[in-house]
Amino acid sequence: MFVQWLLQLLCLLIIVEGDNVEDRIIGGYVVAKNSVTYMASVQSPSGHFCGGALVSQQWVLTAAHCFYPINQLTIVLGLYNLSLPGPTVQTFSVVDVALHPQYNQTSLNYDAMLLKLKVKAALTVAVKPVTLPSQGGTFSVSLCTAYGWGVTKTNGFALSDLLQGVDIPVVNQTQCNSKYRGAITANMICAGVEGKDTCKGDSGGPFICSGRLQGITSWGYSCATQFPGVYTKVANIRTWIDNILANK
């Protein structure tokens, strides 16, 4: 049984690479236009493959496993409909990247990356930075919201045209670690319930609790199953974020 679990976990970690990450919105809803002003679409020449959150006028926070050569990256802000970009859209090339220095590609500990836009974003009704938690801060709410354009059916492949959100309960760390056999670190948050989850296309996207960016969509075993989704804990990397924004 333990060997079977290890094989499943290895398959999971192989899946969690670049645009093959299984992170999509399942069991969610279409959000109101311009209601998620910090939402970013991280795009390759093939289109959207990860989400992100605008943390300042010139930096987007996403997952480190979403890494892609920056000369081929495009960041789109103010976007609502992937297929029909409207007048609120701002498009940027990327001029610098910072992966968290403790990022572990195998365990996905510290799964965080900052992307620097070529120019500052214009602050509008559709584009504003997200509020960050303080370093080491905690939150007591039990229900948070994840956002993304990932596919909306467990066995689906097509991305959602419209930005989706899903309200998901935070899962106790001990309970989550029992599901994942000790793979959950202190730098991770677990959330989700069967039928509601993030999956392919949502990696790197924001996980919001009481208006603050508490998590980055990172990984999970399958989607919307009894296994919770796993998110990078932003409160544990706030100092790193501040240092990058101030010095790069």
pLDDT tens profile 204-225? 999 999 999 999 999 987 665 6
Q: Is 111 a catalytic residue?
A: yes
- Judged against a pLDDT cut of 60, whether residue 5 lies above it is answered with no
**Mean pLDDT in residue range 229-237:** 97
Structure confidence by residue, pLDDT tens digits, 123-136 = 999 999 999 999 99
Which of 65, 100, 160, 202 is catalytic? The answer is 65
Residue 52, pLDDT score: 98
Residue 10 reports pLDDT greater than 50: no
> Any catalytic annotation for residue 142?
no
CA atoms within 13 A on the CB side of 67: 16
39 within 8 A of 32, measured Cβ to Cβ: no
65 is catalytic: yes
Catalytic residue, candidates 41, 56, 203, 218: 203
Q: Which of the residues 111, 160, 202, 218 is marked catalytic?
A: 111
Average pLDDT in the 42-51 region?
Answer: 95
Burial of 205 (0-12, 13-18, 19+ CB in 10 A): buried
- Mean pLDDT for the chain overall: 87
* Claim: this prediction has a pTM higher than 0.85: yes
